[in-house]
């Protein structure tokens, strides 16, 4: 990851908006190394992501960021700067299965995901050994039956204490309370083991087998209070046939889940996603 700045912005669409933003960068001798934009002609909205080489800036990065405010406000924009290099403080929530967790660990080691895992949190302790092997803290939070509410409070306390920027639900088999979704809005990523909006809810591979679909999939999405209805970041599919039992579908689906989740996290931590109501604008790499 090159040093520099990422600027992510959304605003109402304006004539000349690209010129204004790019001119601001150029006026301080910033060098645009990447510029992705999307003018939503239907919604009259504008979205952009800029990657800026700041090595030649004629002001400090702090001043550059502050100075953008005048323009940003005049555009009625929402924007966000990210200084590179950085690592996003990330908590991973798990239950029993570990393939998604292992994928995250593997990609992090490969340098594909610039994250710092603050801890693993599980409502089961199945993944404790993996945490230990990886040298990561593991918190086992009991939340069965009557302990559910208390459990979520405990998790939220942990996340706050760890100053977490991203929460990944790596096959965490619990529905988050609304208050949880709201507190960490736009910072929770889930992997659902179906090609949404098909097979919402429990046991999607069983549902897929019964329906006799010829492709199965997985969906990485932001979590909102609307179960399985949050903005989609990435989807993967795999071809299947009558030959495959529900167990086979689960096996083949794991591959989709791992791939979709890894891509989704990557896009998020590289600030390649912009949430637009219940959709996600994604500028993939």
- Under the criterion CB under 8 A, does residue 193 sit at the interface with a copy of itself? no
Q: Is 269 exposed, middle or buried (0-12, 13-18, 19+ CB in 10 A)?
A: buried
> Does residue 228 have an active-site annotation?
yes
Does the footprint of a copy of itself cover residue 120 (CB under 8 A)?
no
The pair of three-digit structure tokens given for residue 238, joined into one six-digit string: 């795999």
Residue 15 or 146 with smaller CB distance to a copy of itself: 15
Positive or negative, the CA dihedral 180, 184, 188, 194 is positive
Nearer to a copy of itself, 182 or 245 (CB): 245
Q: How far is CA 25 from CA 2, 3, 38, 85, in A?
A: 17, 16, 18, 19
Distance CA 279, CA 35 (A): 21
Among 1, 19, 161, 173, binds a copy of itself (CB under 8 A): 19
Buried b vs exposed e over 234-245: b needs ≥16 C-beta within 10 Å?
A: bbbbbebeeebe
The Cα–Cα gap between 38 and 48 comes to 6
Determine if 125 is a binding residue for a copy of itself (CB under 8 A): no
* Size of interface with a copy of itself, in residues (CB under 8 A): 70
Q: What is the DSSP letter of 271?
A: T
Is residue 237 involved in binding a copy of itself (CB under 8 A)?
A: yes
Q: To the nearest whole angstrom, how small is the minimum distance from the Cβ of residue 215 to a copy of itself?
A: 5
The 130-149 contact track toward a copy of itself, x by CB under 8 A, reads ---x----------------
Q: What is the DSSP letter of 146?
A: G
- Tell which one of 117, 159, 265, 281 touches a copy of itself (CB under 8 A): 281
Q: Supply the minimum distance, in Å, between the C-beta of residue 70 and a copy of itself.
A: 17
The active-site residue out of 58, 228, 276, 277 is 228
**Token output for 179:** 């208050």
Contact call for residues 53 and 4 (beta carbons, < 8 A): yes
* Other residues' Cβ atoms within 10 Å of the Cβ of residue 191: 26
Contact between 231 and a copy of itself (CB under 8 A)?
Answer: yes
Q: Nearest-CA neighbor of 243 among 209, 194, 279?
A: 209
Report the candidate in 197, 182, 199, 172 with the shortest Cα–Cα distance to residue 279.
197
Task: Return phi, psi of residue 32, to 5°.
Answer: -75, 115
Considering the complex, state which of residue 37 and residue 174 has its C-beta at the smaller distance from a copy of itself: 37
Q: Is 160 in the site for a copy of itself (CB under 8 A)?
A: no
**Contact between 213 and a copy of itself (CB under 8 A)?**
yes
Which of 1, 3, 12, 33 contacts a copy of itself by CB under 8 A?
A: 33
**Which of 4, 72, 122, 217 touches a copy of itself by CB under 8 A?**
217
Binding site for a copy of itself (CB under 8 A): 15-20, 22-23, 25-27, 29-35, 37-42, 47, 56, 99, 102-103, 106, 110, 112, 133, 195-199, 210-215, 217, 231-235, 237, 239, 241-245, 248, 251, 254-255, 259, 276, 278-282, 284-285
Active site residues: 228
């Amino acid at each position: 990851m090159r040093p520099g700045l990422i600027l992510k912005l959304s605003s109402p669409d304006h004539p000349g908006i690209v010129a204004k933003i790019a001119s601001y960068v150029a006026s301080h001798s910033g060098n645009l190394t990447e510029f992705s934009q999307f003018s939503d002609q239907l919604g009259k909205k504008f979205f952009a992501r800029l990657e800026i080489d700041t090595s030649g800036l004629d002001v400090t990065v702090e001043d550059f960021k502050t100075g953008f405010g005048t323009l940003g406000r005049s555009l009625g924009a929402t924007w966000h700067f990210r200084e590179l290099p950085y690592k996003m403080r990330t908590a991973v929530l798990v239950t029993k299965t570990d393939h998604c967790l292992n994928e995250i660990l593997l990609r992090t080691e490969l340098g594909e995901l610039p994250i710092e895992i603050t801890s693993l949190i599980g409502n089961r302790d199945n993944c404790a050994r993996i945490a230990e092997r990886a040298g990561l803290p593991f918190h086992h939070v009991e939340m069965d039956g009557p302990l559910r509410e208390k459990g979520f409070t405990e998790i939220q306390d942990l996340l706050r204490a760890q100053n977490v920027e991203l929460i990944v639900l790596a096959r965490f088999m619990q529905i988050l309370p609304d208050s949880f979704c709201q507190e960490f809005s736009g910072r929770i990523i889930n992997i659902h083991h179906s090609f949404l909006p098909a097979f919402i809810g429990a046991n999607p591979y069983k549902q897929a087998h019964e329906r006799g679909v010829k492709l199965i999939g997985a969906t990485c999405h932001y979590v909102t209070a609307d179960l399985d209805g949050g903005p989609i970041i990435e989807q993967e599919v795999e071809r299947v046939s009558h030959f495959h039992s529900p167990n086979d579908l689960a096996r083949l689906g794991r591959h989709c889940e791992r791939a979709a989740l890894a891509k989704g996290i990557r896009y998020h931590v590289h600030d390649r996603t912009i949430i637009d109501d219940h959709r996600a604008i994604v500028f993939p790499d």
